[in-house]
Amino acid sequence: MGMLLRAPIAFAMLASGIAYLVVKGHDVGLAAEQVLNGLYNGYVLLAVPLFVFAANLMNAGTISERLFEFSRVLVGRMRGGLAQVDILVSVIFSGMSGSAIADAAGPGLVTIKQMLKKPEYTPGFAGAVVVASATIGPIIPPSIPMVIYALVSGTSVGALFLGGLLPGLLMAALLMVGVHVIATRRNMPKDDPIPARALPGILLRGLMPLTLPVVLLAGIYSGAFTPTEAAAVAALHALILAGVVYRAFTPKALFLVTLESLRSSAVITMIIASAYLLNYAFATEGVPGNLALWVASLHLGQLEFLLLVNVVFLVLGCFLDVSVMLLVFVPMLIPTARLLGIDLVHFGVVVVVNMMIGLVTPPFGMLLFVTNALTGIALKDMVREGWPFTLLLLFALLLLTLFPQIVLWLPQTMGYVTR
């Protein structure tokens, strides 16, 4: 009811939890107890504001522009080159930010401006490509949604990060094939050739930001630091790169980036805190256990259950925020997934991919609204041009559901015990 009245999601959830305590005659002080216990015991949560800060630093520090030029050298000469560049930039930026919104607002905005300079790229197509490619952001590690999923499921963050790598590359490959087919049919241009003398400088400037995902992944999987500590390393690396190496910050600009990061982190933290209270209500009423027993009575197999979950989350993703689905609905499904013997790393990656698709589906696709707000491109134009890309993302989701080893091969190869 609160969300229907346009109340902030966190406040609506908190009010629902307190109303439950009042109706059941429980001590209302349990609200503070559940929230504080959840936050203080959630060490992994420290990664969320740090990854948000790192992404904002990179967006404000000219890194997006450098990655764009670097990617132009690699794929710009393909048919529909600028659209192909956007997808490659999203893949690279995904290894730094972990946020779909940051991807659309940073590299996505750069590529849209470039595409709109050429008449062959319609505004709707440019926006649709950016929106679709931004979904890769939280799939390729690091990933803020996977950190939250690890919190509610007890799954290894490192295993989840590795599990998202191949699915993210699969999504990118399918989108690039889709762009090639559309660009060939519409006779879209290849990008202008880059003078040979400019190539070394462009490649060098583009390679420097690429050191961040290398440092992060090498540090995590060598045991030098935990995934949570990796978020602090990412923030420090981005600060040094943008502030010291590129000298892209004034003190005022750094203050504004910090302030925006604090605001975004506060919103996420409020939603997480409210979810703890709501989850307490569900657990007290035995909802997760009863749901598991009900699903067991239906005699569903692993595949049938995953397909059902996909359908449910695809529908919910049209209306609800990703954080709400991760923190409220996913914990109710974890016992059922365990009961059916579904690997929780596989389940987590499938769920996160599902939720990213929800960011591009109307009526409340968040990426659509962000891109519309930043560029003024009409929502209806992006939806009309974007349906082929949405179908390709759904095909990727189906492949991940049918073939768990796409997700599990890397974690298992690196020695993680999944399930």
Q: Let me know: does 316 contact 361? Beta carbons within 8 Å.
A: no
Q: Residue 181 corresponds to which tokens in the numbers above?
A: 């087919």
Q: Residue 151 corresponds to which tokens in the numbers above?
A: 């919190």
Q: What is the DSSP string of 102-144?
A: HHHHTHHHHHHHHHTTSTTS-HHHHHHHHHHHHTTTTTSSS-H
H helix or E strand, kind and range, residue 355: helix 344-358
Q: Let me know: does 334 contact 288? Beta carbons within 8 Å.
A: yes
Mean of the pLDDT values across residues 7-31? Answer: 73
User: Using 50, 70 and 90 to split pLDDT, how confident is the model at 417?
Assistant: low
pLDDT of residue 344: 94
Instruction: Kindly report which listed range (85-89, 92-96, 151-155, 308-312) carries the lowest average pLDDT score.
Output: 92-96
Mean of the pLDDT values across residues 124-136? Answer: 92
Cβ-based neighbours of 324, under 8 Å, separated by 6 or more: 9, 13, 271, 275
- pLDDT above 70 (res 167): yes
CB atoms closer than 10 angstroms to residue 116: 16
pLDDT of residue 41: 65
- Whether cis (ω within 30° of 0) applies to the bond prior to 362 is no
323-380 pLDDT, tens digit per residue, is 778 888 888 888 888 888 899 999 999 999 999 998 888 877 788 888 888 888 888 8
Reported pTM: 0.85
Q: Hunting for tokens 């590529």 — which residue is that?
A: 111
User: What is the phi/psi pair of residue 411, to 5°?
Assistant: -60, -45
User: Using 50, 70 and 90 to split pLDDT, how confident is the model at 34?
Assistant: low
222-274 pLDDT, tens digit per residue, is 777 777 788 888 888 888 887 787 777 778 888 888 898 888 888 777 777 77
**HSE of 196, CA atoms in CB hemisphere, 13 A:** 0
37 vs 153: CA distance, rounded Å: 16
Q: Is the dihedral of CA 269, 274, 278, 283 positive or negative?
A: positive
pLDDT of residue 179: 93
Average pLDDT of the chain is 82
Counting every residue, how long is the chain? 419
User: Using 50, 70 and 90 to split pLDDT, how confident is the model at 213?
Assistant: confident
Among 234, 213, 118, smallest CA distance to 169 is for: 213
User: Using 50, 70 and 90 to split pLDDT, how confident is the model at 37?
Assistant: low
Mean of the pLDDT values across residues 293-304? Answer: 81
pLDDT of residue 404: 94
Higher pLDDT, 20 or 129: 129
pLDDT of residue 399: 96
Higher pLDDT, 170 or 248: 170
Mean of the pLDDT values across residues 75-85? Answer: 84
Among 112, 148, 116, smallest CA distance to 131 is for: 112
